[in-house]
Amino acid sequence: MSRPAKRIVLVGFGAVGRAFARLVDERAGAPATTAGRPALSIAAIATTHGTWIRGKDGSELDPAQVADELELGRPFEDVPGVDPRLDGLRAIGEIPADLLVEAGPTDLTDGEPGTSYIRAAFERDWDVVVASKGAMVVHGPELIETASRRGRQLRYGAAAAAALPTLDVARWGLTGARVERIEGILNGTSNAILTDMRRKGSTFAEALARAQAAGTAERDPRLDVGGWDTAAKLVLIAGAVWEAPLEFKDAEVSGVEAVSPPDIAAASSRDGTIRLLGTAWLEGRQPRVRVGVVELPGDHPLAHVDGAEKAITFVTDTLGRITVAGGESSPRAAAAALLRDVLNLAGCHGPMSVG
Amino acid sequence: MSRPAKRIVLVGFGAVGRAFARLVDERAGAPATTAGRPALSIAAIATTHGTWIRGKDGSELDPAQVADELELGRPFEDVPGVDPRLDGLRAIGEIPADLLVEAGPTDLTDGEPGTSYIRAAFERDWDVVVASKGAMVVHGPELIETASRRGRQLRYGAAAAAALPTLDVARWGLTGARVERIEGILNGTSNAILTDMRRKGSTFAEALARAQAAGTAERDPRLDVGGWDTAAKLVLIAGAVWEAPLEFKDAEVSGVEAVSPPDIAAASSRDGTIRLLGTAWLEGRQPRVRVGVVELPGDHPLAHVDGAEKAITFVTDTLGRITVAGGESSPRAAAAALLRDVLNLAGCHGPMSVG
């Protein structure tokens, strides 16, 4: 069985976008794909420096080779096939395609530029797969409603903890059960800092400085250690699980900055552990989301999630408590999460593996 | 949007079958179901004492009420609507339906009677959802091939660790990644006995006797403590993940009977823990499955799975290591796993929750 390739416009060509181009090339391009799932073809790559279009001006580069060119230091606008005057919005308006993959920078304040790209893709009746959180946490309810009204699909698992399959487990692993409560350790940086504080007995400032020196914490760590990244992920997950409109501003958020070595020592003396926990539950039909520091007892399913690892627990009425943990933190793993969403929307009953 | 109800023939009406009837009644019957997924209707219930048929002889009982009658002590053959001369195979041959749900007793030696029921359902071009392991571990490759050839679906997640969503996570949570290795603590009884030995410093025989007295271990515990139950689940999971024909006889199996208190103490002294672990990996294109006692280091993702809990770790090439843990052990949870499979095959893009 052969189907026409699904044509993708990729917006954003940083580390995650480039890794996505390579993964598509490796395992979901036309020759490698077997029956049941359509092949994938990246038709265009839109960046702030213009848009690369497959085959333009006779260029025979494929997207993985465009990534190679950039990583060799060539400016994007000099890569064969790039139109430096074509911006992302016009590219979405003009290029024939089936699917937008959005891997651009995220802005948790206004959700741009992602939101405009997603709206434009729905105008053209494309499906949309989103990696950056901004658009979904600020305008999620509107975008979900638009997708539903136009009969299109919108997947944002890559924005909701990337490699850790939070939304896929909720959608396919808990079908028919009612989720009563969600608890998650969803920010690797904060968890790594708390783990480091416990192991070395150091202060928050010392552990943060070590993480920044190692490159595992950002120069401006407020999104991570302030709880906002955790809140963004949990808003997306809780909104999807309970199918309720939920935005960033609905979450009650605090961070790990005030945790002290005595707090951690006191918890350890009780066989407990201090964590930055995101918690979501229902009040009537309204989901509530809270992020803050809590002490977990030693037998809690999230008590042993150490270092930069992430995990989520769904408490259900009929299946019991289901915890998913792990997932690599890297641009390639985030790209693999995008590919998962693309393949899951492409074929319902295709083979389990690809390539 | 309204669709005709999907008609189910349920084979087996023990604790799991009865719980399934109640769950369908509670949350997936015609009035409760919203757009996107068809309603479910149990058209018949086949047992070794005959077959109940909806509406037969003017009976107005629904399946949950049939369960009530049995639990009040009424013999199945006396329940209104039951034909005591109609056996399961003839019921599948005669009753108009769309789907077989198989929840009968399991025989890991010959796979009967499940295998005959499943073959008969495919003859009628029904989809099949299986709870009992026997048919799948003995004749899995044949049954999967038949389903594929006839364009029908065969789901057996309820046989592969029940409430713990092993196959759903592999199918939807790891899409596009390559699974390199699988490790699982998949038998709650063995894990509870090892946990009890560690906590109380007791022998295997003492811990087994306590588990039998508490009703958490069978009178004949060999399937559990001998590793066969773990092997059966892992054969199903590995065969599905790697899409390779795999049967029970391909597994290398040993159990926990020989574990001694000094073994456990020695592991603890190294911050390790003794577990009955199922491991699967590829040799070339051939999956290999081994079950036996191993010592896990304290930072292994399965090291803290205690008591009757189950868990599985998938090691992948692009997403990293993903672990799923938990899931209740009860007839209602096993029935919820059947309902999950039924709903997942009924609708690809329906709403996440039901009812």
pLDDT per position as a tens digit, A7-28: 999 999 999 999 999 999 887 6
**Which ranges of B226-260 would DSSP assign to H, the alpha helix?**
228-241
Q: What is the mean pLDDT of residues A288-298?
A: 97
Nearest CA in chain A to B157: A173
Can you give the pLDDT at residue B26?
87
- pLDDT per residue as tens digits for the range A53-101: 999 999 999 999 999 999 999 999 999 999 999 999 999 999 999 999 9
Q: How confident is the model at residue A39 (pLDDT cuts 50, 70, 90)?
A: confident
Contact B163 A322 (CB under 8 A): yes
pLDDT of residue A105: 87
Q: One-letter amino acid identity for A219?
A: R
Yes or no, beta carbons of B323 and A319 under 8 Å apart? no
**A240: chain B residues, CB-CB within 8 Å:** 352
Cα-to-chain-centroid distance, residue B200: 31
CA gap B218, A32 in Å, rounded: 49
Q: Does B172 touch chain A (CB under 8 A)?
A: yes
pLDDT score of A346 = 60
Of all residues in chain B, the one with the smallest CA distance to A345 is: B349
Taking CA atoms, A290 is separated from A230, A231, A250, B342, in Å, by 10, 7, 9, 34
Strand partners, A295: A274
- pLDDT number for residue A60: 92
pLDDT at B127: 97
| Nearest by CB: B325 against A170, A172, A323 | A323
Interface of B with A in 6-25 (CB under 8 A): 23
Which of A150, A175, A271 should one mutate to test binding to chain B, selecting the residue with the greatest count of B CBs within 10 A? A175
* B350: nearest CA partner in chain A: A171
Chain A hits for B23, CB-CB cut-off 8 Å, are 176, 318
- Supply the ipTM of this predicted assembly: 0.94
Confidence at residue A67, expressed as pLDDT on a 0 to 100 scale: 97
Residue of B323, B328, B352 lying closest to A319 (CB–CB): B328
Using the Cβ of A36 and the Cβ atoms of chain B, whether some distance falls under 8 Å is answered with no
- The pLDDT, as a whole number, for residue B39 is 86
Taking residue A30's Cβ as centre, other Cβ atoms within 10 Å add up to 12
Encode burial over B287-306: b for 16+ CB neighbours within 10 A, e otherwise: bebbbbbbbbeeebbbbbbb
Nearest-angstrom CA–CA distance, A229 and A189: 10
Beta carbons of A176 and B354 less than 8 Å apart? yes
A34 band by pLDDT with thresholds 50, 70 and 90: very low
Tens digit of pLDDT for each residue in A207-246? 999 999 999 899 999 999 999 999 999 999 999 999 998 9
Q: Are strands A82-83 and B50-53 parallel, antiparallel or unpaired?
A: unpaired
Which pLDDT belongs to residue B288?
97
Q: Which residues of B touch A303 (CB under 8 A)?
A: 304
Residue A166 three-state SS: helix
Report the DSSP pairing between strands B82-83 and B179-185.
unpaired
**Order of strands across the sheet that contains A251-253:** A251-253, A286-297, A272-283, A179-185, A311-316, A321-326, B321-326, B311-316, B179-185, B272-283, B286-297, B252-253
pLDDT in the model for residue A35: 43
- Chain A partners of B147 at a C-beta cutoff of 8 Å? none
Tokens of A197: 């504080």
Question: CB distance from B202 to chain A under 8 Å?
Answer: no
Residue A347 pLDDT > 60: no
Query: CB–CB of A115/A135 below 8 Å?
Result: yes
**pLDDT digits (tens), chain B, 355 positions:** 456 789 999 999 999 999 999 999 887 664 444 444 568 999 999 999 999 999 999 999 999 999 999 999 999 999 999 999 999 999 999 999 999 999 998 888 999 999 999 999 999 999 999 998 999 999 999 999 999 999 999 999 999 999 999 999 999 999 999 999 999 999 999 999 999 999 999 999 999 999 999 998 999 999 999 999 999 999 999 999 999 989 888 899 999 999 999 999 999 999 999 999 999 999 999 999 999 999 999 999 999 999 999 999 999 999 999 999 999 999 999 999 999 999 988 654 333 333 3
Model confidence pLDDT, tens digit, residues B121-179: 999 999 999 998 999 999 999 999 999 999 999 999 999 999 999 999 999 999 999 99
- What pLDDT score was predicted for residue A247? 84
Rounded mean pLDDT of chain B?
Answer: 92
Query: What distances in angstroms separate CA B108 from CA A79, B114, B232, one per listed residue?
Result: 61, 11, 8
